[in-house]
Amino acid sequence: MVLEAAVAVTDTQTSASSVFRYRRRKLTPASIVGRALSFCVGSALVCLASQSQAAVLPEDRADAMYHRYDGGGLVVQGPSVLIRKAYKDKVSVWGNYYADDISSASIDVETTASEYSEQRDEYTVGVDYLHGKTFMGLSYRNSTESDYDANSVSFGISQDFFGDLTTLGISYSRGWDTVKRTGDDTFEEDTDRQGYRVDLTQIVTKNLILNLNYEGVNDEGFLNNPYRQVRYVDSSAALGYSWEPEIYPETKRSSATAIRGMYYLPYRASLKGEFRYYTDSWGVDGWNAEVAYIHPLPKGITLEGKYRYYTQTAADFYSDLFPRAQAQNFMARDKELADYVTHTIGAGISYEFDVPFAAYFKKGEASLFVDYLMLDYNDFKDARKTDVQAIDQPLYNFESVIVRAYMSFWF
């Protein structure tokens, strides 16, 4: 249980990001949400399935989740279902279905596009194999929507050492996506991704566990949003500026290094902490710090509270307002590449219970988590304010609420 809890905190933020990282076809702030959350949004159940630890197969279980994000003119909501089953204590297979309904009237949509609604469907299947103290996992994911198809394959292996006090894990993933553009049947571009990851988890004392993690990602192909535009100074325009399509590099190299820990307090409660640093070849540097407190109560109730801070610099080719048309080779006005700061306050409650009405279930658990996200931009202005010149437009900021409800059964 101690080791499981430590490994469970090793990829929460990255998993959230992966849900939104390649959804660039629409004008949404979704990947900002992914970076801002330290719990898995959208792929939460996949995280539960894939974050297995060496020398122990995950328990047989069925999970259902409902999540809702509402902020900045964007609403994303939907269910997810995961089922996992082990065979002969050697092999565990699992499958996950996740759907989200997206309705967007974000600031980007209001300034350069039209409000839209659509659904994204995602399917993931995986198999884990345990041999002695070696744990191996293989999974495949497919995500489909009206103008974006994403596929990825992941493989990981981990091994226990030194009396099971140390666990070393490495993993590799390969993804290939197809980007389309609604209303233009001739537009079709490809994106290829490769990811590498190393995890080292150490039980330092009976109360303290530490995890070190490094992750590298290589992106190639069409990496920008086919709908998004940049704006530039144009004295002949009524607003003093005009719009043109953004242009991105066709390669990106990024890396992230993190240290995470969990400390068990004498009265059965625990503290979790994280510090993570991110950098990429586009000039974005960011870091986040998070602290969480988990407190069990009688009768199977557990309370949790957290705070998370994140900040990043802008990309080298980002600008809120370029000085002229075609000002440089690469141009972006994507909020995700801007200079901004987020604060996230979260709280959750879990309740573990028996299931006397169904003998084939060992136990059940119901959980509810709510996060309040505050995001402030330092160099992205609110272009909806057309009654003033661009230089006088206020900086953009918004708040959002993220709700995740889980129901789990072990069998």
Alpha-carbon gap, residue 102 to 344, rounded angstroms: 22
- Model pLDDT, residue 55: 66
Mean pLDDT, range 254-282, rounded to an integer: 96
The whole-chain average pLDDT of the chain stands at: 87
Mean pLDDT, range 49-63, rounded to an integer: 70
- Model pLDDT, residue 56: 79
Residue with tokens 């030194």: 162
Residue with tokens 């190393």: 198
CATH (one of 3.40.50.1860, 2.60.120.380, 3.30.420.40, 2.40.160.40) for 2-410 = 2.40.160.40
Alpha-carbon gap, residue 271 to 291, rounded angstroms: 7
Instruction: List pLDDT tens digits, range 283-327.
Output: 999 999 999 999 999 999 999 999 999 999 999 999 999 999 999
Global confidence as pTM: 0.86
Mean pLDDT, range 247-266, rounded to an integer: 97
Among the listed ranges 73-77, 169-173, 277-281, which one has the minimum average pLDDT value?
73-77
CB atoms within 10 A of CB 379: 16
High-pLDDT (> 90) share of the chain, %: 71
Among the listed ranges 34-43, 268-277, 353-362, which one has the minimum average pLDDT value?
34-43
3-state secondary structure of 109: helix
High-pLDDT (> 70) share of the chain, %: 87
Report how far apart, in Å, the C-alpha atoms of 122 and of each of 82, 142, 150, 294 are: 12, 6, 9, 31
Which residue, among 81, 84, 174, has the nearest Cα to 128 in the 3D structure?
84
Mean pLDDT, range 344-351, rounded to an integer: 97
Going through 9-115 in order, the beta strands assigned E by DSSP cover: 61-71, 74-87, 91-104
Mean pLDDT, range 44-71, rounded to an integer: 72
Instruction: List pLDDT tens digits, range 211-236.
Output: 999 999 999 999 999 989 999 999 99
Report how far apart, in Å, the C-alpha atoms of 8 and of each of 160, 216, 249 are: 16, 20, 35
Alpha-carbon gap, residue 107 to 293, rounded angstroms: 35
Instruction: Dig out the tokens for 19 from the structure.
Output: 């849900």
Which residue, among 192, 132, 127, has the nearest Cα to 156 in the 3D structure?
127
Confidence at 11, pLDDT banded by 50, 70, 90? very low
- Model pLDDT, residue 333: 95
Alpha-carbon gap, residue 44 to 5, rounded angstroms: 15
Residue with tokens 């300034």: 111
Confidence at 22, pLDDT banded by 50, 70, 90? very low
Alpha-carbon gap, residue 292 to 13, rounded angstroms: 14
- Model pLDDT, residue 19: 32
- Checking if the pLDDT of 26 tops 80, the result is no
Instruction: List pLDDT tens digits, range 151-160.
Output: 999 999 999 9
Provide the 8-state DSSP code for 60: P
Phi, then psi, of 172 in degrees rounded to 5: -140, 140
Instruction: Dig out the tokens for 281 from the structure.
Output: 């070849």
Instruction: List pLDDT tens digits, range 380-400.
Output: 999 999 888 888 999 999 999
Pair 17, 102: CB distance under 8 Å? no
Could you tell me how many residues make up the chain? 411
- Checking if the pLDDT of 20 tops 60, the result is no
Amino acid identity, position 343: H
Which residue, among 135, 130, 70, 57, has the nearest Cα to 100 in the 3D structure?
70
Pair 284, 314: CB distance under 8 Å? yes
Instruction: List pLDDT tens digits, range 113-150.
Output: 778 788 999 999 999 999 989 999 999 999 999 899 99
- Checking if the pLDDT of 34 tops 70, the result is no
Alpha-carbon gap, residue 187 to 229, rounded angstroms: 17
Confidence at 49, pLDDT banded by 50, 70, 90? very low
- Model pLDDT, residue 205: 94
Pair 315, 337: CB distance under 8 Å? yes
Confidence at 23, pLDDT banded by 50, 70, 90? very low
Name the burial class of residue 1, with classes exposed (0-12), middle (13-18) and buried (19+) by CB atoms within 10 angstroms of its CB. exposed
